Copies of this chain bind each other. A is one copy, B any other.
Amino acid sequence: MALLVEKYGGTSVKNVTRVMEVAYNVRDRIKEGHQIVMVVSAPGGMTDELIERAKSINSNPRGRELDVLLSTGEQISIALMAMALENLGVKAISYTASQLGIITVGEHNSARIKEIHTEMVKRKLDEGYVVIVAGFQGVTPGGAVTTLGRGGSDTSAVALGAALGAREVDIYTDVDGVYSADPRIVEGAVKHSDISYEEMIEMAGSGAKVLHSRSVELAAKYGIDIHLRSSFNWREGTRIGEEKHMEKHVIRGIAATENLTKVSIEGRCLSLSDTIGAISRSGANIDVITHNYQRGRTEISCIIKEEYLDSALSAIETGEVSWRKELAKVSVIGLGVKSKGTAATVFDILSREGIEVEGVSCSEINISCIIPEEDVKRAQCALHKELIETE
């Protein structure tokens, strides 16, 4: 008998058929004698619909009220899941974050979990219940509803796993694992059976939208394995955990992000911190910063998502500003990136493909190149073929 902590994403509870499919599967594992804690997301698409409805009433709704609104999606899912399990003769009980006591700190819409009261969960598990917890949401010490930011249910599940002392958390979604590249783009992409926390964080940050980055950081902190898998086929997926490939430093994945814009600011006496600070306060996440100082003139450039261009432009107060749209970032990720001197190979491959590189950023396990958006698929295929398929 084991304690299983399982998270089900929006596509896994999108409609009655999906909810029942999950309930049947949970029942089978209950019959095997396991204890199960489920963390569920809002039905697929509902959070977007609610945001749209809010924006049609108030283009800039207050965080507190937006959280009251958005938390209803998960509340609907937990109730329906409990009903589905009870219909199969399985004792089940649902809890919102307020009811359970998932205490958060920080801003509305992007709150962080401070602590989770687990007494109730433990008691109900001991009484034979499947405990169903609303993901994505929390509550302030004062009783206001909060949410953790888009994709936050992954983090709810890992935090609950940590609080309950689980060794592993299953995250069920509509893909069956982490691939070496997007299989819709790169034909030879292969599924990893395991991948390290660090590689997963880089993958997630580089466009592979399979997991909420914060959930992986939290899993690493508490030494919990995440088993990312599909509720559509229930097969073994990818385990995200401590690095297991001793010395075998390989390239593990190619990821990409599109819709990027390069903003460049040139002038005398430009302050890097003032300039980047202004753009950052405008709401844009900043990636790949370059900074040149030559003959008394400073040039600063950075990469932001195109949707933040207007607000970034109005935030910049000094210097001559220019920008280039329709860029993308292609990233090569793996613990082997640095040790093998892969950077030169990456540039060589892109050069042979005739793809121009507008900027580069490297970490210990990630080489990212900014390239024209129109070349991004070709770049992924070429890099995957030479760096992964030929290994």
Q: Pick out which of these stretches binds chain B: A83-91, A256-264, A319-327, A341-349.
A: A83-91
> Is A66 an interface position by the 8 A CB rule?
yes
Of residues A19, A59, A83, which shows the largest number of chain B Cβ atoms within 10 Å of its Cβ?
Answer: A83
> Is A79 an interface position by the 8 A CB rule?
yes
> Is A180 an interface position by the 8 A CB rule?
no
Q: Pick out which of these stretches binds chain B: A69-77, A161-169, A237-245, A367-375.
A: A69-77
A94 to B57 Cα, complex, angstroms? 15
A76 touches B69 (CB 8 A): yes
Q: Which residues of B contact A93 (CB under 8 A)?
A: 64-65
Q: Which residues of B contact A59 (CB under 8 A)?
A: 87
Where chain A touches its partner, the secondary structure class is: helix
> Is A96 an interface position by the 8 A CB rule?
yes
A62 touches B86 (CB 8 A): yes
Within the complex, what minimum Cβ distance (angstroms) separates A39 from chain B? 15
Known A68-B94, A75-B72; contact A20-B57, beta-carbon cutoff 8 A: yes
Q: Taking CB as reference atom, which chain B residue is nearest A84? A: B57
A80 touches B57 (CB 8 A): yes
B72 touches A76 (CB 8 A): yes
The one of B65, B76, B80 that contacts A83, using a Cβ cutoff of 8 Å: B65
The one of B50, B96, B143, B145 that contacts A68, using a Cβ cutoff of 8 Å: B96
Within the complex, what minimum Cβ distance (angstroms) separates A141 from chain B? 13
A79 to B306 Cα, complex, angstroms? 30
Known A62-B83, A76-B50, A83-B62; contact A16-B57, beta-carbon cutoff 8 A: yes
Q: Which residues of B contact A71 (CB under 8 A)?
A: 75
A57 touches B83 (CB 8 A): yes
A65 to B79 Cα, complex, angstroms? 5
Of residues A56, A78, A80, A99, which shows the largest number of chain B Cβ atoms within 10 Å of its Cβ?
Answer: A80
Of residues A20, A58, A78, which shows the largest number of chain B Cβ atoms within 10 Å of its Cβ?
Answer: A58
Q: Which residues of B contact A78 (CB under 8 A)?
A: 68
7 residue pairs bridging A and B, Cβ less than 8 Å apart:
A50-B76, A58-B86, A62-B83, A65-B79, A65-B86, A68-B78, A72-B75
**Could you list 15 further interchain pairs (A-B, Cβ under 8 angstroms) beyond the known A58-B83, A64-B93, A69-B79?**
A16-B56, A16-B57, A19-B57, A54-B80, A58-B86, A65-B79, A65-B82, A65-B83, A65-B86, A68-B75, A68-B79, A68-B94, A72-B72, A75-B75, A99-B143
